[in-house]
């Protein structure tokens, strides 16, 4: 891991790193916030929240805009922010649109050429990156996962497909039923091909009925979100949860949109949700 930058923040440290990813076959950058306990003279290993960002984002959006570090420092919780796709792999069309290719990896494993050579973001965030960080940094190996929009979709499927790997899961305005919305259908057809049966394993709403672990879902959604009607479908996720008796706390917030103003308004609730599941004593 090559350290690119570091900033002291609320007694902890925000760091940006670069490393060579084997599963993505390219260099990747990511960010980590380590709370004070993890950088003390005798560092104490801490649990980590993995945050998956949305379309067009990098690791920097959440760290600079969400205001999560203060509460994470109080709780003794690390935050890990990967990028949202491979970068600079020179695939045809990778930079042509905001919702496919660069910045839009959708946290799945592509099977269609040429994307299958690099676009294995699911394997990256579930396995490769945590294994690297738990080896190199003072992390306990206890994990939670959250995200926004495309990253909310990613957080949900990572938790649903990996029972026992995460202690808790939450999402802000997730793409909850991607097989049935324009963003998801474009991405899945491009990365996975035209057989829609293969898409189902990457759709949280369709994974809920057969989930082998039923972690409570905390989902926040703004009612003034421009993407709510056509892209996000929280009601489909809630209906699936009701039928499967899978607990979901879907909170609709009047007047809030899809921006980081929305995330910053409720991020402490999510950090507290994860802290409780991770056994952190200062959780509210």
Enzyme catalytic residues: 149, 225, 258
Residue 197, both tokens:
């049966």
Burial 82-117 (b: 16+ CB within 10 A, else e): bbbbbbebebeebeeeebbbbbbbbbbbbeeeebee
How far is Cα 279 from Cα 168, in angstroms, rounded to an integer?
Answer: 11
- Give the separation between CA 114 and CA 110, rounded to whole angstroms: 9
179's CB contacts (< 8 A; 6+ apart) are 185, 188, 196, 199, 200, 202, 203, 206
Backbone angles phi, psi at 17, to 5 degrees: -125, 160
Give the integer Cα–Cα distance in Å for 276 and 284. 8
Residue pointed to by tokens 């080896």: 135
Long-range CB contacts for residues 230-233, cutoff 8 Å, separation at least 24: 230/181, 230/182, 231/175, 231/181, 231/182, 231/183, 232/149, 232/173, 232/174, 232/175, 232/176, 232/181, 233/175, 233/176, 233/177, 233/180, 233/181, 233/205
> For strand 78-82 and strand 26-34, is the pairing parallel, antiparallel, or unpaired?
antiparallel
Measured in whole angstroms, the distance separating CA 149 from the mean position of its chain's CA atoms is 9
CB atoms within 10 A of CB 157: 26
């Amino acid at each position: 891991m090559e350290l690119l930058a570091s900033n002291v923040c609320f007694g902890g440290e925000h760091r940006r790193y670069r490393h060579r990813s084997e599963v993505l076959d390219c260099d990747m950058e990511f960010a980590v916030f380590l709370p004070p306990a993890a950088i003390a003279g005798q560092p104490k290993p801490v649990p980590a929240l993995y945050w998956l960002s949305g379309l067009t984002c990098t690791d920097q959006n959440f760290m600079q805009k969400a205001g999560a570090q203060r509460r994470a420092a109080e709780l003794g919780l690390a935050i890990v922010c990967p990028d949202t796709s491979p970068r600079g792999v020179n695939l045809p069309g990778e930079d042509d649109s905001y919702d496919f290719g660069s910045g839009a990896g959708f946290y799945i494993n592509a099977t269609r050429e040429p994307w299958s050579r690099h676009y294995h973001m699911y394997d990256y965030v579930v396995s490769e990156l945590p294994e690297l960080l738990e080896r190199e940094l003072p992390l306990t190996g206890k994990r939670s996962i959250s995200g926004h929009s495309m990253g909310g979709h990613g957080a949900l499927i990572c938790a649903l497909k990996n029972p026992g790997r995460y202690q808790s899961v939450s999402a802000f305005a997730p793409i909850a039923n991607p097989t049935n919305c324009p963003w998801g259908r474009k991405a899945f057809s491009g990365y996975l091909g035209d057989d829609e049966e293969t898409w189902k394993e990457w759709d949280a709403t369709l994974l809920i009925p057969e989930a082998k672990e039923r972690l409570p879902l905390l989902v926040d959604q703004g009612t003034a979100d421009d993407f709510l009607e056509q892209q996000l479908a929280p009601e489909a996720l809630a209906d699936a949860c009701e039928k499967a008796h899978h607990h979901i706390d879907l909170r609709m917030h009047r007047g809030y949109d899809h921006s980081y103003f929305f995330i910053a308004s409720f991020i402490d609730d999510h950090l507290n949700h994860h802290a409780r599941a991770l056994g952190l004593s200062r959780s509210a």
